[in-house]
Chains A and B, each alone.
Chain A
Amino acid sequence: MTPDLPKGHALPKARTGISGFDDVTFGGLPAGRPSLVCGAAGCGKTLFAVTFLVNGATQFDEPGVFMSFEERAEDLAANVASLGYDLDALVAEGKLAIDHVRVERNEIEETGEYDLEGLFIRLGYAVDTIGAKRVVLDTIETLFAGLSDAAILRAELRRLFGWLRDRGLTAVITGERGDGQLTRQGLEEYVSDCVILLDNRVEDQVTTRRLRVVKYRGSAHGTNEYPFLIDQDGISVLPVTSAELDYGVSNDIVSSGIDGLDAMLGSGGFHRGTSILISGVAGTGKTTISTHLVDAACERGERCMSFVFEESGAQICRNALSVGLDLKRHVESGLLRFEAARPTLYGLETHLARMHRDIERFQPAIVVIDPISALRGPAVELQATLLRMVDMLKSRGITAVFTSLRTDGAFDQVGDLGLSSLMDAWIKLVDVEANGERTRTLYMIKARGMSHSNQVREFQMSAAGIRLVDAYVGPAGVLTGTARMVQEAEEQASLLRQRQEAERRKREVVRRRLSIERQIAELRASLEVAEEEEIVLREEDDTRETLLGQERRAIAARRSAAE
């Protein structure tokens, strides 16, 4: 953890322009004072010093003098040309002076008392000529090999550092690491304001460069060992990010580029700045899914950076074409960048440092690391590295996509440290083998901060892209692939049968209804006949009654007349 910047009291500092270093030291080297940069051979001392001068001349308008005790000016210029530093041009512009001090023991005869006034005058002359603010002495200890009187040299060095301080020059003095002390001649006794130790360690046949601020008088500084990089872009130091989980969060939703996958997430996509783990064994489609995420982001106009450890960028572009994604145009438009490297090329820290620097420069919105399981190292170190990586990405609000060959979310074969717990979302890809075929399926194991489908989905890759299909979940279990299709066909057949049966029964009912209606009609007809008969009979009765009445009255009349 880096300590907080002390408030109120500010030591004037000269920025080195070395990315990361100025963060670690809260502003750079102590201005107007000499600093010691020490380390074993080949650990980048000279490069550090040259970078300090070149950046001073080009970025901070502080010309510098490089006093070399080892390399000739031409050699020095040639050596740093690969980093894009044009020393000759800076010399021509009067922003840099290089003085090679050659001290050959076999040429020199010591004939009495002397001092190093010649060195002072040369340095003073060079400083005055270009108005230098910065000075590098690389490596002044060489003098001890060329001159035999160590007592004089020590006295003169003490005077030299005092002189640099009096002139207010910010100086970098390099020193080779010695036995039991930081430099062979114990220069740290003289240069006590700021001491920086560079180290180049080999572990498991992989080297990692590290930098440590041993002391920095009057200033707080990061005390850890920080990995640093030397490559074609110069030196960059990776400050260890803070251990606090204090980054801001975003409520933005970003689409995964796969409709079916978005549909599995309650909010229709992932949160921006989330870290997504896609795990699955070989051939389950991890890279293809991450490619969709990348393509979707590029379509939105966001920058993407892909760190690939097993394939080249061109290969991924070609393979993406087979699922209908044209990544090449994104690469050409500058939205997408591939950084391919063999995992064994660097140590873990160096990988992290490299990513850190690339991300810092490219400022992507989404970063893909494919596959993270390719990174090898001791489990504890791996977890620390990945934790920092995730932390670094989160603190920048970058959506991170990691793929892993490990299906259980662990780092490696032996460790039980979980990578999955660092992740906000975890998509697990599982091959289902049944009935002589293999089917790709997908689960959403977790998605922090949103509801998500718990169901397994089958996914199909075709020239039209990835399509998610609901898997068949029935009494026989989860069916996928051809088995699912067979089952679906069977279901359709039985559905047809059921429909036909229903039709038949419907027709039967209609027929029965019709026959009943016919019977009703017949009965009604015979009812009508009966009613007619009844009427006829009733009329006949009435007629008969009437006739009988008339007859009786006629008889009665006849009877009364007869009486």
Chain B
Amino acid sequence: MSEAWTESASSPRYVLRLFVAGMTPRSQRAIANLRRICDERLAGRVDLATIDIFQQPHLAEEHQVVAAPTLLRLEPLPVKRLIGDLSDEARVLAGLDLPVSPRRGADER
């Protein structure tokens, strides 16, 4: 418990933006994967928004989105860019600079 508390206190807030192109199966997969990871690892300290670039195409240009889906980590800096449906969890965690030890914190909790 104390370890988890220390972690969340010292860990910064995450600002994540997920860009998807329509509600394709791939988009839905990406959303589900991200939700799971956030719930497990970033509960309470994440600002997450999902953007459909079909609806808001100007944001695609603004945020240099090329591939879909793209997950953008705006904070903490530096900005990181994760493309794909986020199914490779090890890579997602590496991309977000989260420790690889999966589920341990969640299990203890």
Contact = CB atoms under 8 A, between A and B. Distances in A.
A122 interface: yes
B85 A114 contact: yes
A11 interface: no
A113 B53 contact: no
A124 interface: yes
Given A121-B54, A126-B61, A115 B68 contact: yes
A409 B5 CA distance: 96
A125 B58 contact: yes
A116 B67 contact: yes
Contact of B81 (A101, A109, A112): A109
Main secondary structure of the interface of A (DSSP, over half): mixed
Nearest to A100: B64
Contacts of A108: 81-83
Interface in B67-100: 67-71, 78-88, 91-92, 94-95
B49 to A, nearest CB: 16
B84 A121 contact: no
Given A111-B84, A121-B60, A125-B57, A116 B66 contact: yes
A117 interface: yes
Nearest to B21: A117
A103 interface: yes
A122 B26 contact: no
Interface residues of A, number: 25
Max count, chain A CB within 10 A of own CB: residue among B67, B88, B94: B67
Interface in A90-112: 99, 101-104, 107-112
Given A101-B66, A119-B66, A124-B57, A109 B92 contact: yes
A118 interface: yes
A118 B67 contact: yes
Contacts of A18: none
B60 A112 contact: no
Contacts of B26: 113-115
A375 interface: no
B38 to A, nearest CB: 14
Contacts of B15: none
Contacts of A143: 66
A115 B87 contact: no
A114 B58 CA distance: 20
Contact of A125 (B60, B79, B80, B84): B60
Nearest to B34: A111
B21 A118 contact: yes
B65 interface: yes
A147 interface: yes
Contacts of A115: 21, 26, 67-68
B46 to A, nearest CB: 17
A107 B58 CA distance: 21
A116 B26 CA distance: 13
B53 A118 contact: yes
Max count, chain A CB within 10 A of own CB: residue among B22, B26, B71, B83: B83
Contacts of B19: 118
A112 B53 contact: no
A110 B83 CA distance: 5
Nearest to A99: B61
Interface of B: 19, 21-22, 26, 29-30, 33, 53-54, 57-58, 60-61, 64-71, 78-88, 91-92, 94-95
Interface of A: 99, 101-104, 107-119, 121-122, 124-126, 143, 147
